[in-house]
Amino acid sequence: MLRDLDLAFMRLHVLHHAAQDAFYGAAMMEELRRHGYTISAGTFYPLLHNMEAADLLHREERVVDGRQRKYYAATPQGKAVLDEARTKLTELATEVLEGHGPEPLPDPPTDASSAAEAP
Ligand SMILES: [Zn+2]
């Protein structure tokens, strides 16, 4: 479960940077480590490639210091997904970090008419 969460956080983190500027794979892996994620190339590159296959990232080859390197940037869809996630993140952070709410969950219905609507 923690791994699932970490992977989701890493995807968002990658998307956030990719929406700002194209990045080189190894540099992003370093960035994630700097943020405390334990990630190997064997996990990181498949994650990037999945995001590319999902049309969240766009890959381009650049020649840097005479070497060909792959850079990744967010696609328009990637930016749209990030925007949506940003809204959810804000709401989640408000509840989880700032101690606002959650609103108490509603009591189960007691009268017969609402109970009948329950699946
Ligand atoms: Zn970062």
Give domain limits for the chain.
2-96
pLDDT tens digits for range 67-105: 999 999 999 999 999 999 999 999 998 888 877 666 677
Among residues 70, 74, 79, the alpha carbon closest in space to that of 25 is found at 70
Ligand 1 centroid–CA 13 distance in Å is 6
Query: What global pTM score does this model have?
Result: 0.78
pLDDT at 43: 92
Distance (Å, rounded) from C-alpha 32 to C-alpha 40?
10
pLDDT at 114 over 60: no
2: CA distance to ligand 1 center in Å? Answer: 19
Distance 32 CA to ligand 1 centre (A): 7
Torsion, Cα of 83, 35, 37, 49 (10° steps) = 50
Ligand 1 centroid distance, CA of 108 (Å):
43
Query: Ligand 1 centre and the CA of 93: distance in Å?
Result: 17
CATH (one of 1.20.120.1200, 1.10.10.10, 3.30.470.20, 1.10.10.60) for 2-96: 1.10.10.10
* Helices 41-53/25-34 angle, 10° precision: 120
* Residue among 85, 93, 97 nearest 11 (CA): 85
